[in-house]
Structure 1
C-alpha cells in the first residue's frame, strides 16, 4: 500500500491555515476520543487490542501537540502562531485528562500478565503505559488529581510564553559603517546603512556571530554580546520562577523528592542525584584542558591589553579566532569562502545519502513559507518511500531563533509516513564552519525521526529513546562535517576549487584547542539547568534562595571558563530551560556516547578499512541497530547492539585530552 504524505494548505495566508488547523484538530481529537471511549467503556479482552487503541489515540493527540509546537514557531502570521499554541495546549490538556483517569488506568492495570502474547514490543509498551499512569498521579485522591491537572496546564502555557519571548525578543544595535572594519565583505554588502547613516546589527545568529568574531571595534563586540545576553530579560524571569516552582510541586505530588528525581526516572541517568555527580565528573576532566586553553587565550589577549588578568566574555570569540589564525593557520574568513550555503545544503544530502543508503528528491509542495525546501526520502536500494523532510533554514521575524528538529507527523507502518522539519537560522550566503556542523547535527535528528518511523507503535516512533540519548546520533554526525575528504566533496570556492586538506586539518587542530573551554561552558549550562530546579526544592523546604541572576553568576564562576558579563541575564533566553528542564547535562552525556559510537567508524572496523567514514557494514549496522528501532529498546541496549559491547567513557576522555 502506498502512503501519501500529509497535505498542507495550498496557501500560506492566515485564513487558509486557520481553517486547516481547526479542521485537522477537530478530526484528530474526535477520532482519538472515540478510541479512548471504547477502551474505557468496553475494554478489549485482548491486551494487544487495548494497547493498539490507546497507542493510536495518544499518537493522534500527541501529533496535534507536535504540529502546534511546529506551526507556533514557524508560521509568518502571529494569529496562526497563537492558534497553533492554543491547539498544542488543548492537546496537552486532553493527554493530562486521560493520564489522570482512574478508570482508564484500571483497564491497563487489569490486563492479564506482564507479557503480551510473546510480543516484546507490546510488552514494553504495556510497561511504559502503566508507568506513565503511575507517574501522572492517577492513584492520588480527586483533589490532588485536580491540582495536578491545573499544574500541567499552566506549565504548558508557561513553556509557550517562554518560547515566545525567546523567539520574538530580537535586540539591535546601530553602528556607524566605519566601526565595522574587519567584517566579511559579503556581510557588509548585505548590511547597508539606513537613512540615519547607521548599520543595524541584530542579535539573530547571522548578524551576531560574525560581529563577535570579526569586528575590530571592541565596543561593537561588547555591545552586540551584551544585547545578545539580555534577550528575554526581565520578562522571562518571573515565568521561569513560576515554572520551576510548579515543577517542584508536581514532582512532590506524585511522590518524588524533587523535579530532577522525577525527570531522571525515565532517563538513562536514572536518578536526580546522579546529575550533579556527572556534571562534576566532566568539569574535573575538563579542568586541565580548560586551563591550557585559557592560558593560550590570555597570552594572546595580553599582547593587546598587557595589564589584563582575564579575558572578557565579549572579547573571547574574537581572540579565539585570532589564536586559530595565528597559531593554527586558520583564517576564518578564508574558510567561509568555501562554505556557500547552497553547496553545503546539497553536500549534506549527498553525504548522508551515501552514508545511510538514501535518496532525496526535491518536491514542490505547499508549506508555511517560501523559504522552506522539501524533499521526499527513499531507500536507495529498493526505492521504498521513507518519508518527507522540510528544511526551513533562514531567519525571519517571528520564527524560532535557534536550531532544532520539529515533528510534523510521526510515522507508523501501513498508516502514515514520517515527516520532520529542520528549523534553523543560517545565512543565505557564506557560512561559518560552526554553522555547518550545526546543520549536520540537526539533520541527524531529522534522519532519526524519518528512519525510525516505520514500526508498529506511535509510542516508539521517531526520536523516542531516553531524552539523554537523543543528542548522541546528531553529535556523531558532526564528525562528517570535519573530515577533509568529506568536506572537499562540497566545500568549494567561487572557482570550484575544493577546500585544501591542510586547511581542514588545521581547522581540526584549532578546534581541539578550545575543547576545554567548550566542555566547561557546557557544564555551566548544565549546572544552571539542574541547580535552578534544585534550588526550588530548597525554597520549598523553607531555605532562603537568591535570584536566578545571582545563582547564574555563581554557577558561571564555579563551572564556566569565561567570566560573567556585567548586566546580562543569559538564562532569560536559554530556551532549553523549557524542554530540557533540569536535564541539560544531556548534551554532554550524549557526547560521551557519540564519541564511543564514532570509534566504530574511526577505527574502520569492517570492510571499509582504517578510518573509512563510509564503511558500508558499519554505517548499515548503525542505521539499522541505533536509528531505525526508535524507542523499541533502551538506549544502552541499542548502543551495545551496534558496538558489540556496553558504551564507555574512554573515547570521550581520549578526545578531551587530545
Structure 2
C-alpha cells in the first residue's frame, strides 16, 4: 500500500489493462486485482486492528482498507458484466462473493469498531470528521453492536443476499429472449433496421429483447399482433427463474432490517438518504402520481382516440400499444417522425458530439487513448482539465450490445480516484445501435455520461469514501438528469446532428421534438411511480404473489394496461441495485429541474454558471450533504417549484 507521502497528480498513471485477445492476461489481471486485493485488505485490517487508542494513523489506515477493497470490487463488478468470456465473468462473480464476505466480516468486527471509536481526527485532511461519523454509522447499520448470535445471523444473511442479488442480475443478463414475427411486421421500420434483420426461409424475422431491437420495433411496427408478441417476450425476461429468487431476496432484506431494529427494509434503506424514512417514500410516490394525473389522463385520451381510428373496439391502451401510438401522435400532430429524427443521429458523430459538448461546457479535453481493453469496440479517453492541463482520469465507452454483456445502460467504476494516489477511471456500459440512434437513446447517452463526469470530476478527494458518485443515493441521478437538457437544445444538437448530406438538424424540428416530448410527461410520471411503487411495496409488504401485486400496483399508478401473462418484476433489474429506492429517479428529477433553473436557457454554454456548477456540485462528490451543495449553487434551498411547473404545463 502506498505511504502517505504520495506522488503528485501528474505522476499518477491509469490502470494497465491486458490486450483484448489475451484471455490468460485477463484472468491474471482479475486474480491480481481481486484475489491480491483480498489479501492486501486482510493485511491492512490486521494493521488497523492493532492501532492504539488515539493513534493519528487510524483513520488513514481505514481509508487504505477501502481504497484497496474498492479497487477489487470495481474490477470484479465490471468484468462480471462486460467481459466477453463467460467463464471469466463467472469467476468474477465468484470473487465478488468473496469480497462481500470480507466486507461483511469487517463491518461486524467489534475490535475494528472499537479502534475507530477511539480514532482522532485532528491534523488530518478536511473531511476526517465526516469520514469517521459515516464509518461508525455504517458499522452500527451492519449490526456490530448486536450480540454474537445476531451478528452471525446477519453475516449469513449478507452472504445470502449477495448470492441472490447476483443470481437476479445474472438471470436478466443471460435471459435474453427473441420473437419471430412476419417479415411484413417490419413495414415502417427504418431502412438500417430492416437491413439488419434478414428474412428466414419461413418468411419471419427475429426480434431480440436487446434495446436496439425491441425499442424501434415497438415504436414503428404497425403490426399490433407482432408488437404484442415482442412486448410479451420482453416483459418475461427473467421469468420464471427470478420469481423465487426475488421472493428470497425480499425475505433476506426484511430479516436483516428487523434484526437491526428497523420496522422494514424501506425504513432501513431510507435512513441514509435525503428522504429519511420509508413512509416518506410512499408519500412521495402518491404525491407525484396525484400531481401527474390530470396531465396523464389528458394525453392518454389523445392516444386512445387516435388508436380507435385503427381499432374501434379498443377500450384502453396497453403497454404494447402506447409507445407505437405515442409515436403516431407525435408524427401526425407534432410533425415529428422518429425515423426522420433518427436520420440525424449517426452513432459515431453522436459520441464525438457528446465529448465536444461536455468538454466545452465544463472546460475539459478528451484525449483518445490507444490502450487495450476487454473488447475492440471500447473507446478510451484521458480527461484533462483545460484550465490547468491536469489529467483528471480516464473514461472507457462500451456502447454497443454483444452476447453476455450487461443489457441496460449504466456507469461502472474501474478505479475510484483518490487525491495523490490513484486517478479515477469510469466505464460507460450501454447497448446502442452501431449505425443510427433514436433521439431517446441520445438522451440516455447524455444521462449516463453525467454519471461518468461526476465520477471523474469528484475523483480528487483524499478520502475514498467521498470519491466520485458518493453522495446520497436519491441525489445521484440529479446531475445526470440535468445533463439531459443539453440533448434537447438546438444549439447543442446542431453541432453533431446532421443528415446524410451533412445538413444540421433544423431548429424548427428540434422545437417540435421538444413539444412532442412534453406530450405524455404525465403518463410518463405515472409509469415511473408504478415502478417506484413496485420497488417500495414489494420490500414493505413481501407479497406472496409478486405478479398479482405488480398488477394491482399497475392498476393503481400506471396509465396503460398490462400485457397478459407477463412478469415485469422478474426483469426489473433495479430491484437488485436500488432495492426499495427506485423513487430516487423522480426525487432526483425534482432537484434536477431546480438545478437547471440556474442556467440561461438561451445560452447553455455560458461558462460562469457551468464552471460554478462543476466545482460546487460535481467536484464535491460526497464531501458534503447534497442539500448543502445544491443550496450553495442555487443560493437557496432547493424546492419543487420548477418540477411542478414542468409537470403541470
Aligned to 1:539: none
Structure 2 Cα separation of the partners of residues 561 and 178 of structure 1 = 30
Q: Does structure 1 conserve the Cα–Cα contact (< 8 Å) formed by 2:125 and 2:462?
A: no
Aligned to 2:64: 56
Secondary structure in 2 aligned to 1:303? helix
Structure 2 Cα separation of the partners of residues 399 and 363 of structure 1 = 23
Aligned to 2:115: 107
Out of 309, 313, 316, the residue aligned to residue 307 of structure 1 is: 313
Out of 14, 19, 24, the residue aligned to residue 15 of structure 1 is: 24
Structure 2 Cα separation of the partners of residues 459 and 619 of structure 1 = 25
Secondary structure in 2 aligned to 1:273? helix
Secondary structure in 1 aligned to 2:127? helix
| Worse overlay, 119-128 or 95-104 | 119-128
Aligned to 1:607: none
Aligned to 2:538: 532
Aligned to 1:216: 222
Structure 2 Cα separation of the partners of residues 157 and 62 of structure 1 = 19
C-alpha deviation, 1:614, in angstroms = 1.0
Structure 2 Cα separation of the partners of residues 568 and 216 of structure 1 = 21
Aligned to 2:3: none
Structure 1 Cα separation of the partners of residues 20 and 348 of structure 2 = 25
Q: Please say if 1:144 is aligned against 2:150.
A: yes
Deviation string for 1:149-202 (max 9, x for gaps)? Answer: 111011111111111111111111112322321111110111112354431111
Aligned to 1:27: 36
| Worse overlay, 169-178 or 227-236 | 169-178
Structure 2 Cα separation of the partners of residues 116 and 298 of structure 1 = 65
Aligned to 1:72: 80
Deviation string for 1:473-512 (max 9, x for gaps)? Answer: 0000000000011111100011100000000000000111
Structure 2 Cα separation of the partners of residues 492 and 481 of structure 1 = 14
Q: Does structure 2 conserve the Cα–Cα contact (< 8 Å) formed by 1:66 and 1:88?
A: no
Structure 1 Cα separation of the partners of residues 51 and 237 of structure 2 = 52
Structure 1 Cα separation of the partners of residues 66 and 394 of structure 2 = 22
Structure 1 Cα separation of the partners of residues 309 and 520 of structure 2 = 19
Q: Does structure 2 conserve the Cα–Cα contact (< 8 Å) formed by 1:407 and 1:421?
A: yes
Deviation string for 1:433-470 (max 9, x for gaps)? Answer: 00000000000000000000011011100000000000
Aligned to 2:514: 508
Q: Does structure 2 conserve the Cα–Cα contact (< 8 Å) formed by 1:180 and 1:215?
A: yes
Secondary structure in 1 aligned to 2:598? helix
| Worse overlay, 13-22 or 330-339 | 13-22
Q: Which runs of 5+ in 2 are unaligned?
A: 1-7
Structure 1 Cα separation of the partners of residues 134 and 48 of structure 2 = 17
- For 1:212-611, what aligned pairs fall within 5 Å after superposition? 212-536=218-542, 545-601=543-599, 604=600, 611=602
| Worse overlay, 181-190 or 435-444 | 181-190
The 1:416/1:111 distance shift into structure 2, 3 A limit, reads closer
Structure 1 Cα separation of the partners of residues 42 and 84 of structure 2 = 31
Structure 1 Cα separation of the partners of residues 346 and 152 of structure 2 = 54
The 1:391/1:118 distance shift into structure 2, 3 A limit, reads closer
Q: Does structure 2 conserve the Cα–Cα contact (< 8 Å) formed by 1:12 and 1:367?
A: no
C-alpha deviation, 1:59, in angstroms = 2.4
Q: TM-score, normalised by structure 2?
A: 0.97
C-alpha deviation, 1:46, in angstroms = 3.5
C-alpha deviation, 1:120, in angstroms = 4.7
Structure 2 Cα separation of the partners of residues 12 and 249 of structure 1 = 45
Q: Does structure 2 conserve the Cα–Cα contact (< 8 Å) formed by 1:294 and 1:517?
A: yes
Q: Does structure 1 conserve the Cα–Cα contact (< 8 Å) formed by 2:51 and 2:115?
A: no
Deviation string for 1:29-66 (max 9, x for gaps)? Answer: 2322222111212336334x211111110221122112
Secondary structure in 2 aligned to 1:406? strand
Structure 2 Cα separation of the partners of residues 42 and 124 of structure 1 = 20
Structure 1 Cα separation of the partners of residues 21 and 163 of structure 2 = 26
Aligned to 2:5: none
Q: Does structure 2 conserve the Cα–Cα contact (< 8 Å) formed by 1:358 and 1:380?
A: yes
Aligned to 2:15: 6
Aligned to 1:93: 101
Out of 632, 635, 645, the residue aligned to residue 636 of structure 2 is: 645
Secondary structure in 2 aligned to 1:401? coil
Structure 2 Cα separation of the partners of residues 391 and 173 of structure 1 = 29
Q: Does structure 2 conserve the Cα–Cα contact (< 8 Å) formed by 1:58 and 1:95?
A: no
Structure 2 Cα separation of the partners of residues 650 and 206 of structure 1 = 36
Structure 2 Cα separation of the partners of residues 291 and 199 of structure 1 = 36
Q: Does structure 1 conserve the Cα–Cα contact (< 8 Å) formed by 2:418 and 2:460?
A: yes
Structure 1 Cα separation of the partners of residues 53 and 414 of structure 2 = 31
| Worse overlay, 25-34 or 269-278 | 25-34
Q: Does structure 2 conserve the Cα–Cα contact (< 8 Å) formed by 1:411 and 1:418?
A: yes
Secondary structure in 2 aligned to 1:595? helix
| Worse overlay, 306-315 or 553-562 | 306-315
C-alpha deviation, 1:309, in angstroms = 1.5
Structure 2 Cα separation of the partners of residues 160 and 527 of structure 1 = 23
Secondary structure in 2 aligned to 1:398? coil
Secondary structure in 1 aligned to 2:380? strand
C-alpha deviation, 1:612, in angstroms = 1.6
Secondary structure in 1 aligned to 2:597? helix
Calculate the aligned-residue CA RMSD, in Å: 1.2
Following TM superposition, the consecutive aligned residue runs of length 4 or more in structure 1 with deviations greater than 6 angstroms are none
Q: Please say if 1:188 is aligned against 2:194.
A: yes
The 1:302/1:597 distance shift into structure 2, 3 A limit, reads same
Structure 1 Cα separation of the partners of residues 22 and 289 of structure 2 = 50
Secondary structure in 1 aligned to 2:317? coil
Q: Does structure 2 conserve the Cα–Cα contact (< 8 Å) formed by 1:14 and 1:79?
A: no
Q: Does structure 2 conserve the Cα–Cα contact (< 8 Å) formed by 1:183 and 1:211?
A: yes
Q: Which runs of 5+ in 1 are unaligned?
A: 537-544, 605-609
